[in-house]
Every structure is written in structure tokens, then in C-alpha cells.
Amino acid sequence: MQITGNTILITGGGSGIGRALAQAFHALGNKVIISGRRADVLKEVSAANPGMAWATMDATDAEGIKAFADRLIADHPDLNAVINNAGIMKNEDIKAAPTYLDIAEETIATNLLAPIRLTAALLPHFLTKPKATVLTVSSGLAFVPMVATPTYSATKSAIHAYSVAIREQLKGTSVDVIEIIPPYVQTTLQGDHQATDERAMPLDVYISEVMDILTNQPQATEVVVERCKPLRFAARNGNFDQVFGMVNGLHS
Ligand SMILES: NC(=O)c1ccc[n+]([C@@H]2O[C@H](COP(=O)([O-])OP(=O)(O)OC[C@H]3O[C@@H](n4cnc5c(N)ncnc54)[C@H](OP(=O)(O)O)[C@@H]3O)[C@@H](O)[C@H]2O)c1
């Protein structure tokens, strides 16, 4: 993708990976708009980054997403990129139905349906632009699932498949599709403990490697940092069972 001169919407831009990407793109001179459910959080990030815009949007609200996209295009007619980053990750015990189903359905609505709905709402506008980019955020767990989070892992595998397929459909148009595939990173995705978990990649180190790939490999269709390669390429490397065991603590 082109790394400057964009007007970019970053969903979930109030915290974690979304916030760090928003700040990195903002620092490069892009116009950045962040979204999420918590207005106070978005307001604080935008105040810390003068010129950054914000708007609330609940990713689980199907009709709200379309209205939000229409409003956004009206307010920012130069909009030419989206990072579908908002997501949730909750442990699921499938023996605990029906509670389990509530988590599963919320996870699918947030992590899978929302990016599909938002991309559908923005695409006609993007196709009128000389250069546009749809970025998706999957996970290393798309390729080696986590036993404790079956639906989360499934939504991320689905985002991978969706990204591969829409990239092919959009070949020859002005719209590029890039999949960001994070490893385990220090954010509060699964709670406060994750932000200081030494097994997770420090957020600033992760974002710096992501921006380096986006800058120096403009044709890259997947952003896979070194730390995520064992998961991303486990099937190709022929050691899926071993990596699955390691990810899930199944081997001593
Ligand atoms: N951190 C990791 O280890 C890791 C690894 C692989 C993939 N990822 C992916 O990276 C993305 C960002 O996660 P993160 O680690 O940065 O965690 P995070 O700090 O918890 O960020 C998630 C963001 O999504 C937003 N969000 C959640 N539900 C939403 C909803 N219903 N409507 C609108 N926004 C919603 C949250 O904002 P509000 O609460 O204000 O709505 C929040 O800003 C996710 O897609 C995650 O799956 C993370």
C-alpha cells in the first residue's frame, strides 16, 4: 500500500494495536479516523494526536455500520483505506451452553460479520479512488487454533479466507487487500495481565516491525512479523501438531 497520503479509518483505534497503528499512520502525515464504542477513550487518543478524528461505532450493530460508513464518507470524502481491527477474544467452554453460545455469537458478530459489513459499505466508494486499501486483522491463531478460544480462532481463519478471496475478486481494480497477522502482543485484549505478559511481543516492537514491512514491502499481501512465522507457516513447514501443542501447552 502507499504509506502516506491516505485517509484511513481504523476500527478499535482507541486501544492496543489499533491505537498504535493509528499513531504510526498519523505520524506519517495520513489523515486518521479512529472508531470504537468508548467515546471517552477515542476522545483522549485524538487529543493526544492533534488532527486525528474519531467517531463511535458498535461493530455488532449491523444497520449502524452502514449508517456509520455513509456518514464517514460524507464527512471524509477522501477516505481511501480501512483497517478492520476491532475485535474481542474471550475464553469459551463449549460444555457451558447456552452461555457459551452468547460468547460465540458476539465473537462472530464483532470479528467476522463487522469487517464484512464495513468493507461492503465502503467498497463502492473505494472503487472510485485511484488507490485504496482494505486491511484486515487476523491472527496467528487463524493458522494454529487456540483450544480455549474455538470461535475466536475460527473467526480469524475466516478472516484469512475472506481476505484471500476478496483480494482475488478485486484484482485489476484500484483496491488492494492486505492481511495483518499478529502474534501474541502486549495489549489488554484478554485482560490487563496480557499487557505485561513477558511471553507476548511488546506492542511498540510489534508496530515498528509492521510499519517496516508496510513501508519496505509495498507489494506484501500479508504482514507477518518474524515472531508469527512459526504459526503462519506451520502447515507449510509440516510441524502443525508440534506448534499446536506448543501454543496450547499440550506437550511437556
Ligand atoms: N493482542 C494480540 O495478542 C492479538 C493477536 C492476534 C490478533 N489480534 C487482533 O488485533 C485486533 C486488536 O486487538 P488488540 O490486541 O489491540 O486488543 P484491544 O486493545 O482490546 O483492542 C480491541 C479494540 O476493538 C474495539 N472493539 C471491541 N468490540 C467492539 C465493538 N463491538 N464495536 C466496536 N469496537 C469494538 C475496542 O474498542 P471499544 O471497547 O471502545 O469498543 C478496542 O479498541 C483484534 O482484532 C485482535 O483479534 C490481537
For the record, the C-alpha cell of 61 comes out as: 450493530
Check if the beta carbon of residue 10 is closer than 8 Å to that of residue 21.
yes
Which set of grid coordinates corresponds to residue 106? Answer: 458476539
Shortest-distance atom of ligand 1 to CA 186: 1
What pLDDT shows up at residue 218? 92
> How far apart are the CA of 16 and the centre of ligand 1, in A?
7
- Which atom in ligand 1 lies closest to the alpha carbon of residue 201? 3
Q: Which residues line ligand 1 (CB under 6 A)?
A: 11-12, 14-18, 36-38, 41, 57-60, 85-89, 110, 137, 139, 182, 184-185, 187-189
Q: Whose CA is nearest to atom 45 of ligand 1?
A: 87
- For cell 465473537, what's the residue? 107
Task: Report the predicted TM-score, pTM, of the whole model to 2 decimal places.
Answer: 0.98
Distance separating alpha carbons of residues 243 and 55, to the nearest angstrom: 40
45 CB burial (10 A radius; 0-12, 13-18, 19+): buried
Measured between alpha carbons, how far is 228 from 13 in angstroms, rounded to an integer?
22
- Report mean pLDDT in 10-residue bins for the chain, 252 residues: 96 98 98 98 98 98 97 98 98 86 96 98 98 98 98 98 98 98 98 96 98 96 98 97 95 57
CA of residue 202 to ligand 1 center, whole Å: 16
**Of 15, 144, 209, which is best to mutate to test ligand 1, by the most ligand atoms within 8 angstroms of its C-beta?**
15
* C-alpha of residue 240 to centroid of ligand 1, in Å: 26
Output the CA torsion sign for 160, 163, 169, 171: negative
Residue 229, Cβ density class (10 Å: 0-12 exposed, 13-18 middle, ≥19 buried):
middle
The answer to whether 197 and 241 have CB atoms below 8 angstroms apart is no
Residue type, 125: H
Ligand 1 centroid to 98 CA: how many Å? 24
Nearest Cα to 55, choosing from 10, 1, 4, 98? Answer: 10
Catalytic residues: 152
Q: Ligand 1 centre and the CA of 219: distance in Å?
A: 26
On the question of a cis peptide bond just before residue 202, with omega within 30 degrees of 0, the verdict is no
Specify the residue for cell string 462472530. 108
For residue 112, give the nearest of 69, 153, 164, 81 by alpha carbon: 153
CA-nearest residue, atom 46 of ligand 1: 87
